[in-house]
Amino acid sequence: MIYMFLPAAAFFSAFFILPMCRLFLVGGSGAIGWRAYSVIVTDSNYFNALLATFGVALATTVTTLLIGGLVGVFLQRYRFPGRSFLMAIITLPMAFPGVVIGFMVIMLAGRQGLIGQISMALGGDRLVFAYSFLGLFLGYVYFSLPRTILTIVAAAEKLDPKLEEAARSFGANTWHVVWDVIMPGLKPALISAGAICFATAIGAFGTAFTLATRINVLPMVIYTEFTLSANIAMAAALSFVLGALTWIVLALARSAAGNTVAAAA
């Protein structure tokens, strides 16, 4: 029994427990000591960055699941010309570094961007939102959608069409079918895709590095503390809090979603 436990224990030690302990200790070793952790809450600069980070991640997750869920179920159910081509290129955004995605958002919504030019041509102001919350959000959604869609397509293939027919035999309309049959069936997939999406949006650096000038997100703050201020302890404290909070949010989401085994059976 103990031998079966060993590989898992080694894995968790190497990837989670040891690095997190080290980060936690380094966080308390700076000029202000353990106060580095309380500063994160008291210093508005850090705290706002923390809120912004989780805000963007949450908005990204909800939007991605919504679009990904709809598109995924559609792609699984309907056969149309060009479908296989679409399925093949759908993973494309995942191959781009975050910087490229940031650049694409700038081309779309930056100062010289497409949306700005259109809004000018229509006689309005130059619309620029690449560098704020909305820009980051767009970039993250773009990056996370492919993985979410593919997960949903795979899960939708496992849905039993008879369940839907049974629901309809009782007079269930589309909304009932979605809520009573499709959503419960997709729940495990939605949770795992949402978790990955959320964690990715929390930690994404390349896109934030390119775009986040009007919005401060934690990965950027950590980078600044680390490279420009050489405040390694603060960077470590922020990293630890970022990691711990992400873990808590994901754990809460998982338990709130209840027994996923029952829904998948």
Partner 1 sequence: MSALVPQALSIRLQGCAKTFRDGTRALESLDLSISAGETLVLLGPSGCGKTTTLRLIAGLEQPDAGGKVFFDDTDVTTLGIEARKIGMVFQSYALFPNMTVAQNVGYGLRILKMPKTEQQVRIREMLAMMRIEALADRRIDQLSGGQRQRVALARALAVRPQALLLDEPLTALDARLRDALRVEINQLLRSLGITTIYVTHDQAEAMALGDRIIVMSHGRVEQIGTPREIYHQPGSAFVANFIGSMNQLRGVVTPQGFTCSAGCLNWDRSGVAERVLFRPEDVSIVTSSEFAELTGVVKASFFMGDHTRLLVDVGDEAPITVLDDARCPQAVGQKLYMRVAPLGLMSI
User: In the bound complex, what is the minimum distance in angstroms from residue 72's beta carbon to partner 1?
Assistant: 19
- Does residue number 265 form part of the binding site for partner 1 (CB under 8 A)? yes
Lookup: tokens for 54:
């989780």
User: In the bound complex, what is the minimum distance in angstroms from residue 80's beta carbon to partner 1?
Assistant: 13
Radius of gyration (C-alpha) of the chain in whole angstroms: 22
In the shown chain, the binding pattern of residues 181 to 210 toward partner 1, with x for contact by CB under 8 A and - for none, equals x--xx-x-----------------------
CB closer to partner 1 out of 109 and 167: 167
Cα(177)–Cα(162) distance, integer angstroms: 12
- Does residue number 169 form part of the binding site for partner 1 (CB under 8 A)? yes
Which of 178, 183, 109 lies closest to 142 in space, CA to CA? 109
Cα(93)–Cα(145) distance, integer angstroms: 9
- Does residue number 71 form part of the binding site for partner 1 (CB under 8 A)? no
DSSP state of 245: H
Which of residues 108, 172, 178, 250 is near partner 1 by CB under 8 A? 172
- Does residue number 170 form part of the binding site for partner 1 (CB under 8 A)? yes
Which of residues 89, 92, 171, 256 is near partner 1 by CB under 8 A? 171
Cα(36)–Cα(112) distance, integer angstroms: 41
- Does residue number 256 form part of the binding site for partner 1 (CB under 8 A)? no
Q: Which region among 97-105, 107-115, 146-154, 158-166 touches partner 1 (by CB under 8 A)?
A: 158-166
Residues 150 and 91: beta-carbon distance below 8 Å: yes
- Does residue number 176 form part of the binding site for partner 1 (CB under 8 A)? yes
User: In the bound complex, what is the minimum distance in angstroms from residue 194's beta carbon to partner 1?
Assistant: 18
Size of residue set near partner 1 by CB under 8 A = 22
Q: How many other β-carbons are positioned within 10 Å of the β-carbon of residue 20?
A: 15
CB closer to partner 1 out of 58 and 163: 163
- Does residue number 255 form part of the binding site for partner 1 (CB under 8 A)? no
Which of 240, 243, 262 lies closest to 251 in space, CA to CA? 243
- Helix (H) / strand (E) element for 49: namely helix 44-77
List C-alpha distances in Å: 143 to 74, 98, 104, 197, 224: 20, 8, 11, 9, 24
User: How crowded is the C-beta side of 204, counted as CA atoms within 13 Å?
Assistant: 35
- Does residue number 167 form part of the binding site for partner 1 (CB under 8 A)? yes
Q: Which region among 37-45, 80-88, 122-130, 257-265 touches partner 1 (by CB under 8 A)?
A: 257-265
CB closer to partner 1 out of 19 and 180: 180
Residue 201: strand, helix, or coil: helix
CB closer to partner 1 out of 167 and 217: 167
Using CB under 8 A as the criterion, which residues of the chain lie in contact with partner 1 when the complex forms?
Answer: 160, 162-163, 165-173, 176, 180-181, 184-185, 187, 262-265
